[in-house]
Structure 1
Amino acid sequence: MIRFWARLAVGVAAIVALAPAGHADVWSDLQACRKLGDAERLACFDRVLAQHDTAAAPVATRPEAPAAVKPTFGEDRLPQSETAAKEPESMVAKVASVRWNAFKHFTVTLDNGQVWRQLDSDTVTADLAAAATVKITRGFLSSYSLSIEGAWGTFKVKRIK
């Protein structure tokens, strides 16, 4: 701690020594400020610097308060209570229409208006027809799987509408 104060004193002395002529009294003014209480001392230092610096910038004002943070910020990481409403883990719907792309991946429109597309990374071809009943379930890391009632296997899908 003593080394810190010694370095600070040497630094201030060097600044005062290198100051242009006419600023020799800065050191004595700063010494006078050191004898004051905390709040007065800070005001005294600001006043001395403003008096002795011909190109002094205005004394800094307190920074403005940060913008209000939304009260919901970070809630997604809070532990959920058992009474909190949870989204369903799956849904069942009828297929209203099916479209196929060049890679034989499907896009289905369900009777509830939702549209789901088979992921390009899913290499299995589905045997899917209109009016089929499908079940879509939540998977790992926000993924979804679609299974066709009465058929074997699941297909990785994502909701597009």
Structure 2
Amino acid sequence: MKKLLPLLSILLVSGTAIADDAALQKCRALGEASARLRCYDAIPLTAGNPVASAAPAAAPVAANAAPTAATTAEQNFGIEQVKKKTEDEPKSIESTIVGTFDGWGPNSRIKLANGQVWRIVDGSDAVLTPMQNPKARIERNVFGTMFLHVEGTNNSAKVRRVQ
């Protein structure tokens, strides 16, 4: 019985291939390309194949297509959404840090005069001479990481905008 099961499955698959082969031969004989394409499209992919007809095939997801509500997280696993870089996106911004500033530490929040709040994310710290409203520049590197540069110091910190 154990040897019979694989033999039966081979016969089922072979029977499907033979049945589909006749349909393929019929389509191949057509001369007009559009008629031939319609003929190929009309061939049922699951006809006579009990394994393939048991579950409907999932629609393939294009690598650059945005996920829809119908797709699941499992179907989208490994597909990254590539953000297209726009030319008008600034590489840096400049502002001032509001009030007295004497440095930063890990997870410090820094509020700029333009209303943005940035958090130190790299665990660095810098103790500076207290400054009043120092100029600051947030700069994006090639990989998209943001860094805070404060006027009057050579230190910089990796930051992420929180507000």
TM-score (norm 2): 0.47
- Give 1 or 2 for the bigger CA radius of gyration: 1
TM-score (norm 1): 0.47
**Normalized per residue, which structure has more helix?**
1
